[in-house]
Structure 1
Amino acid sequence: MRDFQHPGRSAVLSTNGMCATSHPLAAQTAIDILKRGGNAMDAAIAGAVLLGICEPQMTGIGGDCFVLYSPAGSNDVRAMNGSGRAPAASDAATLRAGGLTAIAQDSPSAVTIPGAMDAFCTLSETVGNLGIDDLLAPAIHYAEEGVPVAPRVAFDWGKDAPVLNSRARDVYLVNGKVPATGQIFRVPGQAEVLRRVAKHGRDAFYTGEVAEDMVNTLTRLGGVHTLEDFANTACEATTPISGSYKGVELVEHPPNGQGATAILMLNILSHFDIADMDPLGAQRAHIEAEAAKLAYDARNRFIADADHTTRADYMLAPETAAKLAALIDPRKAMAAAAPLTESVHKDTIYITVVDKDRMAVSLIYSVFHGFGSGIATDKFGILFQSRGAGFTIAEGHPNELGGGKRPMHTIIPGMLRENGRVTMPFGVMGGAYQPNGHARVVSNLTDFGMDGQTALDAPRSFSDAGDMKVERGYSDDVRQELADMGHAVSIPDTAIGGAQAIRIDESGILIGASDPRKDGCALGY
């Protein structure tokens, strides 16, 4: 139990249904959908699409999603890959011949075909109870009427706005300026797009006038996108991967997601007595940082489009973790792994919903960087993701840009099972931090017996490209001890990530947790 004389928030308990996400309007919308007879998938989709209006710097209909879900009455976990592919005409050799060594975030080459809308429509039709028209109605309303800008959203908006191109500035600034907390933000062009999808389904987005708007905008800027690329977009049901840590099974998406990185990291940590360490001490932060360096190095070498990833089994093998764990010096930091040529990010949204029948949904949805590519379409103002910047153009790499390929993705939803029972859908936002975040949450729960809310509240650290980011929740003594070990320590300007979780108690109680690093909450009924 938390100390009620200290600032903090209590877990949220309910029996019928629950949502945890990063904006209260989306959480309330999800609960409203559940009360109207929708299931957890319906509620998660409705809340996610609305988050594109509430947090447009993080996500939107020009982005991608990944979904894990457990059907009602089942402990099976299923996966849906809603990430888009590069245009068929994409070619890394052409970019190399032009003297490029990486894909610029704000270029049309960074724009892969948005996959989320296809996934939402497909899951609504095949898994949901309500129609896509019902699920899009809240987002249509708020896109037209406007949403007051929340405090964390306003903070992120200011630092991310410089990427916006001239058309995007018309849409995503208010009177030419970054909106302040409490100002109303509207996107009527997106309301019109959502109305068309609500009436005609996914084809209203991937064909016809909306698709033409997207293609014409991109080709005018030098993109190689075609109407066929959009029309042929299709989400894909996949088989999840998993690994166990002290009796808790972590279920993740397979490649092109980076979920295998979280499993490898936990496998490495299992070779150390983490539970005997101070949870907020330097030793735990150090071992975790070293495990992250090794796991992320494997990710950078091997994870790519599923058709081009050949070493996923190697990453998940126990002997791989044992060999890597043996490389860790408990008192000295190793050099950082070689830097990526592809881009990494920190911006996404996550939503989890559990309904009265105990369907559990874990959904993550992103435009990659803050405001994605910064490119908005000429007519409807659809903001494109920059996920193509997650490709490398290094010749022969599994994640090399190529026509029809999906890039390595940093966004990963998570799900926990214990003794074969689904016990917690959860997610940790924060781009590259996400595998580390998944491992940290699982360790907080298992090694230190934290409840869900405490596990999300706890201070975080992250060794990122040679920079050991240590949140202010750690003591200066810990920072000094880490520096003495050889880490280049800094206090990050922005809190590390943000997380949401719902624990499904054995007694049937739902226990929601929401990260105070974001504006959101857990709500139940």
Structure 2
Amino acid sequence: MQDMMKRFLAFTAAAALSFTPAAAQQTATKSGVQKPALEIGGGGRPVGEAWARSPVYAANGMVATAHPLASQIAIDILKKGGTAVDAAIAANAALGLMEPTGNGIGGDLFAIIWDPKTQKLYGLNASGKSPMGTSYEEFIKQLDGRETIPPFGPLPVTVPGTVDGWFEMHERFGRLSMADILAPTIDYANEGHPIAPVIGYYFGRNLKRFEENLDMIGEFENARATYFADGPPKEGKIFKNPDLANTLTKIAEGGRDVFYKGEIARTMDAYFKRIGGNLRYEDFAAHSSKWVEPGCVTYRKGYELCELPPNSQGFAALQMANILKNIDLAQYPRGSAEVLHYITEAKRLAFEDVARFYADPDMSPAPLDWLLSDAYGKERFALIDPAKASPEFGPGEPKLEGEGDTTYLTVADKDGMMVSLIQSNYRGMGSGLVADGLGFMFQDRGELFSLDPNHPNVYAPGKRPFQTIIPAFMKKDGKPYMSFGLMGGGMQPQGHVQVMINMVDYGMNLQEAGDAARLNHDGGRQPTNDLAGTGADLLGTLNVEPGISDETVERLKAMGHKVKRVDNGVMFGGYQAIVRDPETGVYHGATEMRKDGQALGY
């Protein structure tokens, strides 16, 4: 496939100014003239872009996840009469087993659900809080002179919200029993499944990072026994996790209370006491999810982008859309320097506000109406110089990014319910900590607190940290249109906007919009900084995939951007999406080449 892409790009004059797939390497002489690649690859496509597969079409139900077996499980749940929520929970449980490099029941969950009965969007924030018994002053002492919160070990661990999120969604929108929903994953955990290629790659990355930070982690024996007994699991190797099977069986039989108030909670409490962590039984018992109102902004042509409010970073995508709707991007070729410049500057402007305002709204409410207003979008757009990158932006004044490995999935059923769900352990597999006999790793989401006592996102007991994970949804002319998302820390809001631009401004289909090469701007102030952004790289680096042309890269550099080519897709996310045709009701499904995933329908 990669060789085919090379051959196609070499013979397509327009490729110099277009978004092309991340795997499509270009060959060039010293003068920059594109030359045909010598290798002969696969054949050409009769329709659409030569570098993208067809979307999947189905009338009764659709699933798109990062693992083919998880997609199959979700389709089976739909065929048994389960709702899209039932199938989403089943897929998420399977991914916690099959893709533990990015998610699991030791992490948090966010979801957007379109309910056809009420004709409404519902938002769920299933993120956990910091330990209630650890004050700011005590937490600072535990850092032992560190100026930042460590990424591994017990200090960044917050209460896992995923299991409660499952039961909240299921209580409102589920149909099958939780035992039926979790049964396929329990079977796979006991009997084993073969490791997928990209997941095998991430296993190797995670073990290397853990072994470089063993002093920080402390207790690693449980994690090694659960995941790395024979080294990192390799592509095609059969992987089993009987401890996780046992945990999921208890959840299926005992419900959410067994996890937060029963046997599993007692085990977690004893574990953190043993290793010197801060979480206690009372933290688990007090946990609850929150139903929240998604926010939407109109982009153009009747399309609305919808996201979840803080403590997530979802509204950053809405701020970007609000800025970019002030310029007709379609006047420029896809992948041109102008388009990438405007996207990058809009991202930088939005993330200045993320760094300043986004935090747990129960403790630090943000001025959301102002941030999402058309007037503020125009005000921020006016700060963009069309000819060059601004050295520095600041947050707005009314009268919060990080690395992350995550899983995103989306499901739609025959009744029209659509679920957009994202779930994560944050940095790679998480903290490196696995409680005795439970078979899952705890997240390290608490790394994303600020230590500045004046910052809205400062650490405090019983507080939700800033969250990078965000599901997305789009409406068209007020009707449900697209559930979609994309993995990867600060890449997520800018990835959402790029997919939207590909479809709305450039007419790409669902599959092409995800396979097209992306940018990922990294830098600027962060929600973890102090209010002044001390030490932040305010201009940041514009990372681009190989499919962005050499001409565009050189023009961006001339405009003042620091541009870096990145040859693999790791930092550019992993996309899944479902579109519902508003006239026929037919579903279109897509997943992308940067992951192992599959879209399936029936």
TM-score (norm 2): 0.84
Single out whichever of 137-146 and 57-66 deviates more from structure 2. Answer: 137-146
Q: Give yes or no for contact 1:53–1:147 (8 Å, CA) kept in 2.
A: no
**Is it true that 1:455 corresponds to 2:513 in the alignment?**
yes
Shift of 1:71: 1.3
Q: Deviations over 1:108-133 (max 9, x none)?
A: 12111000101102222221001111
**Which consecutive unaligned segments of at least 5 residues does structure 1 have?**
none
Q: Secondary structure at the match of 2:57?
A: strand
1:211 alignment partner, one of 265, 284, 301: 265
Q: 1:4 to 1:284 in 2, by over 3 A?
A: closer
Single out whichever of 372-381 and 228-237 deviates more from structure 2. Answer: 372-381
The 4+ residue runs of structure 1 with deviation greater than 4 A are 1-5, 336-339
Q: What is the root-mean-square deviation of aligned Cα atoms in Å?
A: 1.8
Shift of 1:513: 1.2
Shift of 1:316: 0.8
Q: Secondary structure at the match of 1:32?
A: helix
Single out whichever of 159-168 and 181-190 deviates more from structure 2. Answer: 159-168
Map of 2:576 onto structure 1: 500
Partners of 2:222 and 2:383 in 1: how far apart?
Answer: 50
1:442 alignment partner, one of 472, 478, 500: 500
Q: 1:489 to 1:5 in 2, by over 3 A?
A: closer
Map of 1:77 onto structure 2: 121
Q: Within 5 A, what are the aligned runs for 1:175-194?
A: 175=230, 177-194=231-248
TM-score (norm 1): 0.96
Larger Rg: 2
- Give the AA of the match of 2:170: S
Map of 2:376 onto structure 1: 320
Single out whichever of 2-11 and 473-482 deviates more from structure 2. Answer: 2-11
- Give the AA of the match of 1:522: A
Shift of 1:70: 1.0
- Give the AA of the match of 2:564: S
Map of 1:362 onto structure 2: 420
- Give the AA of the match of 2:389: A
Q: Give yes or no for contact 1:95–1:393 (8 Å, CA) kept in 2.
A: no
Shift of 1:74: 4.2
Q: Deviations over 1:235-286 (max 9, x none)?
A: 1111111111002111111111111100000111112221111111111111
Q: Secondary structure at the match of 2:321?
A: helix
Map of 2:441 onto structure 1: 383
- Give the AA of the match of 2:108: D
Map of 1:137 onto structure 2: 183
Q: Secondary structure at the match of 2:69?
A: helix
Q: Give yes or no for contact 1:163–1:374 (8 Å, CA) kept in 2.
A: no
Q: Give yes or no for contact 2:401–2:490 (8 Å, CA) kept in 1.
A: no
**Which consecutive unaligned segments of at least 5 residues does structure 2 have?**
1-44, 211-219, 524-539
Partners of 1:6 and 1:443 in 2: how far apart?
Answer: 20
Map of 2:327 onto structure 1: 272
**Is it true that 1:87 corresponds to 2:163 in the alignment?**
no
Map of 2:251 onto structure 1: 197
- Give the AA of the match of 1:168: A
Counting aligned pairs with the same residue, the percent is 42
Shift of 1:346: 2.9
Q: Give yes or no for contact 2:401–2:489 (8 Å, CA) kept in 1.
A: no
Shift of 1:338: 8.5
- Give the AA of the match of 2:204: G
Single out whichever of 216-225 and 151-160 deviates more from structure 2. Answer: 216-225
Shift of 1:455: 0.8
Q: Secondary structure at the match of 2:198?
A: helix
1:481 alignment partner, one of 555, 579, 594: 555
Q: Deviations over 1:275-301 (max 9, x none)?
A: 111111111111111110110111111
Q: Give yes or no for contact 2:130–2:157 (8 Å, CA) kept in 1.
A: yes
**Is it true that 1:471 corresponds to 2:545 in the alignment?**
yes
Q: Deviations over 1:318-341 (max 9, x none)?
A: 2222121111111212236689xx
Q: Secondary structure at the match of 2:350?
A: helix
Q: Within 5 A, what are the aligned runs for 1:303-318?
A: 303-307=358-362, 308-318=364-374
**Is it true that 1:125 corresponds to 2:201 in the alignment?**
no
Single out whichever of 360-369 and 374-383 deviates more from structure 2. Answer: 374-383
Q: Give yes or no for contact 1:514–1:521 (8 Å, CA) kept in 2.
A: yes
Shift of 1:522: 0.8
2:279 alignment partner, one of 225, 234, 238: 225
**Is it true that 1:55 corresponds to 2:99 in the alignment?**
yes
Q: Within 5 A, what are the aligned runs for 1:335-354?
A: 335=391, 344-354=402-412
Q: 1:45 to 1:232 in 2, by over 3 A?
A: same
Q: Give yes or no for contact 2:349–2:394 (8 Å, CA) kept in 1.
A: no
Partners of 1:5 and 1:318 in 2: how far apart?
Answer: 35
Shift of 1:12: 0.4
